[in-house]
Amino acid sequence: MTTTFPPGTHQSADDPNVLLDDDFASYEPIPPYPPRTEREAEFYTLDDGEMYLNLGPQHPSTHGVLRVVLKLDGERVVDIDPVLGYLHRGVEKLCENADYHQTISHLDPLEYISSLFCEWGPVMAYEKLLDVRVPRRAEYIRVLSGELNRIASHELFMGWFALDLGGLTPILWAFIERDEIVEMLAALTGARMLFNYFRIGGVNGDLNHDFMSRLGDWMSRAAGQIDSNTRLLNENEIFVRRASGLGVIDTETALKLCMTGANLRATGVPFDVRRAHPYSVYPELDFDIPTRTEGDSLARYLLRMEEVKQSLRIIDQCLEQLPDGPIMAKLPRLIRPRPGRAWAALEGPRGMYGAYAISDGTDQPFRLKIHDPSFIHLQAVGALLPGHLLADTMAIMASLDPIMGGVDK
């Protein structure tokens, strides 16, 4: 259909496809109810020349199901309002109605990229409630499998981040390494992603031949492979120029926003729970906490790649120092911890994972609170984005590495 406009104007009042000012009068306001809070009222009031843009809930770059309402001025982002809850499963409520062992399988899907860390926190909290000492071999196996999972997660981050910046190759390369690790963990735990491997007082199974041969095979070339993967990006001028100076955050703001993990270390704070508040056998292991001071997306990316090297060091030491012995503490099948409270925190690939468990003396946790770093870091996106271009939205979000499964619980 061709539309002819009268000379001197681009709008015709006769054309039903053209919206005039009167047509907007019948439009529902966004959102379709009066604002409930000060902040909502502020966000849903437009200044001159501003507009809203809705991203999601199924945008491919949002690493899960997230909806973000952007307030734009031209192509600049003025403000954002993330809308969560599309993946909310009520895990904490489910855990209150399951017994202690059953909760572990509820916790896995929280972060489907690094499930072991989701299990580890609550399991540590339960062990504190029960005063159980975990056998040293089990602790070493936990650290070993955890660090493998961390590498897999960081590799995937590398691919995603490049993908969100418009590079397709790195994710294909990243998946080579990740798939090897995932297959390795499948040989150990029986599952590729949702492991359900840690048990209260130990781990589910001992290291087996399949796992060890895969691991030895992979470790012999892992450092070189990962190095060549990262060189794809580290020496790519387009990538480096694009990512540097993107989403800069300073130390004070990062601490006020409760950020942890690589996102905090990229601002120069050497906070790593493995060193700041040691748990498991990390005090016996020798590794560094790399930090950077730029606080931008590139720094966050480079730090994670640096962490991969440290994880490889840790795996080497675990294999060297692995003690013999049992992999499970002696515990009854049905456990009823004495009434009490316990908090356990650990350093995962995305930051500090925590669990706060309350026991009332029955076989089900009275309350289990999961602290997930993705939730905290997604909140920080609101502080990072304003002033950036629309095209940088996903790049900044990806550089913080949130996983929506963990955000929405």
Asked if residue 159 binds other proteins (CB under 8 A), the reply is no
Sole window of 80-88, 138-146, 154-162, 218-226 interacting with other proteins (rule: CB under 8 A): 80-88
What's the order of all strands across the beta sheet hosting 351-359?
A: 340-348, 351-359, 367-371
Q: Out of 271, 282, 287, 301, name the contact with other proteins by CB under 8 A.
A: 271
- Comparing CB distances to other proteins, the nearer of 170 and 351 is 351
Q: What is the sign, positive or negative, of the torsion defined by CA atoms of 159, 162, 168, 169? A: negative
Q: Out of 319, 369, 388, 390, name the contact with other proteins by CB under 8 A.
A: 369
Asked if residue 99 binds other proteins (CB under 8 A), the reply is yes
Asked if residue 93 binds other proteins (CB under 8 A), the reply is yes
Residue carrying the six token digits 């997660």: 153
**CA distances in angstroms from 30 to 21, 27, 121, 319, 357, listed in the order given:** 17, 9, 40, 57, 39
- Give 92-149 as a 3 state SS string: HHHHHCCCHHHHHHHHHHHHCCCHHHHHHHHHHHHHHHHCCCCCHHHHHHHHHHHHHH
Among residues 225, 222, 196, 235, the alpha carbon closest in space to that of 107 is found at 196
Q: Out of 66, 342, 384, 394, name the contact with other proteins by CB under 8 A.
A: 342
Asked if residue 11 binds other proteins (CB under 8 A), the reply is no
Q: Taking a C-beta distance cutoff of 8 angstroms, is the pair 158, 233 a contact?
A: yes
- Comparing CB distances to other proteins, the nearer of 31 and 167 is 31
The helix/strand/coil state of 71 is: strand
Asked if residue 364 binds other proteins (CB under 8 A), the reply is yes
Q: Give the separation between CA 348 and CA 286, rounded to whole angstroms.
A: 17
- Comparing CB distances to other proteins, the nearer of 82 and 159 is 82
DSSP H or E run through 47? none
Asked if residue 338 binds other proteins (CB under 8 A), the reply is no
Nearest distance from C-beta of residue 252 to other proteins, angstroms: 10
Q: Out of 6, 85, 323, 339, name the contact with other proteins by CB under 8 A.
A: 85
Per CB under 8 A, residues contacting other proteins are 31, 33, 36-40, 84-85, 88, 90, 92-94, 96-97, 99, 128, 253, 255-259, 271, 276-277, 334, 340-343, 345, 352, 354, 356, 358, 362-364, 367, 369, 371, 375-376, 379-380, 383, 408-409
